[in-house]
């Protein structure tokens, strides 16, 4: 077992134990329209730890929704971006794209939300809305360019977007999701990225009854993949480097567990899976997992290591295997996923933290010491 002292500020909370959030009466807006100074937490450079500073949110436009952020999940992408591991970060950056909170103001043209509603924001805040992919509801594959929730230039407003490690956000209604009050709100936050990023490929590759699925990496994405795939009726095997996670993997929905550092266990799974979903955040050998896929099966990469991977064509050719990838999910599918979770009582297993624990959370994520998503309680941000 990896030992790690949790700070007093890191509080364990399981999706099963927390009470559902109750609808509270509307509160005053965090930042008045037009004066949008908002406390936030972010990085000034790739080498500096995250620290507090203020950001400006835009005035609430006719199609905008202003949300008081109550909880924000900590995705490994936040770490990649804060440290510029993908080479695309615009500083200063406020990470965070697993945002849930309460609507505090709406623009005149907004019809879907009212002040006081629960709402969520995920990885995107806009797209061209007109290309073929946007028209199909696949805004994440917008051919003009998706506007990401942080470190992205919003062509409509000209602003550099800033994410959810902050007190409030103002964003366009079309990219805001309705959140049910049936589930514990803090455990809903990770659905906005970890949830949809696993739900979407499992649906696309038709994972269900009769599918043998392997999930590589038991972190934020991996644990949601186990929950969804078992709910869809698939036979699920967890492929992990952490033997101490076996018991949790089974509780989360895996029927089988294989330790990927044990060659004998890997050997026994050769040509076994119809689909493998790879959620690994660091460099690893794809060929080792491709070997486990049966004829015409697919390996779907959702983890995005900062360095390019290598694979042998022979490994693909040997069983006519496909190597594929998938990015988050479009707006309609994200709402579908949130509704599915509310209906089937699915949410994330979280460790609730205060904002000043986030640098330690990053350190622990790098050691695979995550059980299974850190979520920031935004009350802790002054």
368 binds, among Zn ion, ligand NAP, none (CB under 5 to 8 A by kind): ligand NAP
202 touches ligand NAP by CB under 6 A: no
Q: Specify the stretch interacting with ligand NAP by CB under 6 A; choose among 22-30, 63-71, 155-163, 281-289.
A: 281-289
Minimum Å gap between C-beta 215 and ligand NAP is 9
Contact characters 95-134, ligand NAP, x per CB under 6 A: ----------------------------------------
For 276-291, letters b (16+ CB in 10 Å) and e give: bbbbbbeebebeebbb
370 binds, among ligand NAP, Zn ion, none (CB under 5 to 8 A by kind): ligand NAP
Instruction: Please provide the size of the chain in residues.
Output: 382
Interface positions, 287-346, toward Zn ion (CB under 5 A):
none
240 touches ligand NAP by CB under 6 A: yes
364 touches ligand NAP by CB under 6 A: no
Mapping DSSP to helix (H, G, I), strand (E, B) and coil, where does residue 297 land?
A: strand
In the bound state, the residue with its beta carbon closest to ligand NAP is 219
CA distances for 99 relative to 119, 179, 300, 323, angstroms: 8, 11, 26, 31
Q: Which of 133, 161, 279, 334 binds ligand NAP (CB under 6 A)?
A: 279
Interface positions, 293-322, toward ligand NAP (CB under 6 A):
302-304
Nearer to ligand NAP, 30 or 370 (CB): 370
152 touches Zn ion by CB under 5 A: no
CA distances for 55 relative to 41, 79, 159, 243, 375, angstroms: 9, 20, 12, 42, 21
What whole-number distance in Å separates Cα of residue 157 and Cα of residue 25? 31
Minimum Å gap between C-beta 318 and ligand NAP is 22
Structure tokens at 68: 């008081």
Q: Which of 66, 127, 187, 335 binds Zn ion (CB under 5 A)?
A: 127
For 301-324, letters b (16+ CB in 10 Å) and e give: bbbebeeeeeeeeebbeeeebebe
Mapping DSSP to helix (H, G, I), strand (E, B) and coil, where does residue 258 land?
A: strand
CA distances for 207 relative to 52, 226, 232, 277, 335, angstroms: 42, 12, 7, 11, 19
Mapping DSSP to helix (H, G, I), strand (E, B) and coil, where does residue 209 land?
A: coil
Nearer to ligand NAP, 194 or 376 (CB): 194
134 touches Zn ion by CB under 5 A: yes
Structure tokens at 266: 């890997």
Minimum Å gap between C-beta 203 and Zn ion is 18
Let me know the angle formed at the C-alpha of 334 by 32 and 304, rounded to the nearest 5 degrees: 100
131 binds, among ligand NAP, Zn ion, none (CB under 5 to 8 A by kind): Zn ion
Structure tokens at 363: 């350190």
DSSP letters of 130-143? Answer: -SHHHHTT-GGG-S
Structure tokens at 33: 């329209």
245 touches ligand NAP by CB under 6 A: yes
238 touches Zn ion by CB under 5 A: no
Nearer to ligand NAP, 318 or 327 (CB): 327
Phi and psi dihedrals of 102, rounded to 5? Answer: -120, 140
Q: Specify the stretch interacting with ligand NAP by CB under 6 A; choose among 11-19, 50-58, 340-348, 364-372.
A: 364-372
254 touches ligand NAP by CB under 6 A: no
What whole-number distance in Å separates Cα of residue 262 and Cα of residue 197? 28
* Contacting positions for ligand NAP (CB under 6 A): 75-77, 80, 193-194, 197, 217-222, 240-242, 245, 279-282, 284, 302-304, 327-328, 365, 368, 370
* Contacting positions for Zn ion (CB under 5 A): 75, 77, 127-128, 131, 134, 142, 144, 193
């Amino acid at each position: 077992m990896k030992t790690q002292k949790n700070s007093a500020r890191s509080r364990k909370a399981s999706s099963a134990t927390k009470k559902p959030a109750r609808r509270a009466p509307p509160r005053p807006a965090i930042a008045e329209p037009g004066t949008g100074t908002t406390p936030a937490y972010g990085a000034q450079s790739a080498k500096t730890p995250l620290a507090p500073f203020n950001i400006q949110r835009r005035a609430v436009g006719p199609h905008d929704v202003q949300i008081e952020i109550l909880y924000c999940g900590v995705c490994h992408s936040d770490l990649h971006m804060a440290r510029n591991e993908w080479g695309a970060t615009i500083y200063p950056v406020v990470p965070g794209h697993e945002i849930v909170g309460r609507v505090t103001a709406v623009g005149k043209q907004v019809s879907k939300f009212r002040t006081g509603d629960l709402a969520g924001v995920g990885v995107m805040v806009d797209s061209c809305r007109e290309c073929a992919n946007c028209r199909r509801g696949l805004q994440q594959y917008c051919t003009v360019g998706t506007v990401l929730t942080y470190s992205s230039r919003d062509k409509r407003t000209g602003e550099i977007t800033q994410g959810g490690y902050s007190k409030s956000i103002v964003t366009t209604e079309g990219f805001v999701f309705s959140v049910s009050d049936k589930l514990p709100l803090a455990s809903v936050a990770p659905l906005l990225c970890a949830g949809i990023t696993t739900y979407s490929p499992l649906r696309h590759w038709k994972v269900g009854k009769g599918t043998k699925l392997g999930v590589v990496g038991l972190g934020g994405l991996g644990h949601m993949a186990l929950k969804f795939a078992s709910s869809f009726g698939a036979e699920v095997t967890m492929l992990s480097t952490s033997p101490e996670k076996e018991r949790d993997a089974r509780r989360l929905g895996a029927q089988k567990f294989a330790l990927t550092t044990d060659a004998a266990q890997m050997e026994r799974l050769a040509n076994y899976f119809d689909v493998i979903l790879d959620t690994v955040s660091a460099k690893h050998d794809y060929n080792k997992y491709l070997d486990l896929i049966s004829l015409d099966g697919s390996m779907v990469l959702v983890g995005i290591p900062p360095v390019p991977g290598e694979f042998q064509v022979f490994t693909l050719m040997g069983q006519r295997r496909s190597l594929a990838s998938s990015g988050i999910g479009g707006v309609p599918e994200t709402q579908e996923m949130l509704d599915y979770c509310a209906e089937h009582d699915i949410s994330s297993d979280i460790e609730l933290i205060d904002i000043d624990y986030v640098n330690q959370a990053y350190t622990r994520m790098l050691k695979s010491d995550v059980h299974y998503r850190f979520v920031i309680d935004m009350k802790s941000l002054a």
